[in-house]
Amino acid sequence: MKNPLATFYSWQLSSGALDGWTSYHIAAGAFLCKIFQWMDWSDIQCVLGVFVIGVLWEIFEWYVENWEPYGSRKRWFVNTSSDLFVETAIAWWMVI
């Protein structure tokens, strides 16, 4: 039987959910969350702040690149969703 975690990871790579920029999104989410914490924002404000900046970044990225670097709109959507998830998830993890 194939390892379910390995299968999930393989799917993430083949679908475009994970790419070389995923680690930058995680780092940006952690960095922004820490900045917001230093500014005495509440926990929910920190997480929502990271999410809103992530959405704004993805809108900017769409405006500059469109979906073409990803090969299809589906791969773009999967990658964008993954980026927003990882940066918001690290912020959420930091405040719990």
- Structural domain count of the chain: 1
* DSSP conformation letters of 23-40: HHHHHHHHHHHHHHHHTT
Q: According to the per-residue pLDDT averaged within each range, which of 7-21, 42-56, 71-85 is highest?
A: 42-56
Check: CB of residue 54 under 8 Å from CB of residue 91. Answer: no
pLDDT recorded at residue 4: 81
Full residue range of the structural domain in which residue 62 is found: 4-95
* Average of per-residue pLDDT across 54-81: 90
Q: What is the per-residue pLDDT for 1?
A: 59
- Residue 60 pLDDT greater than 70, yes or no: yes
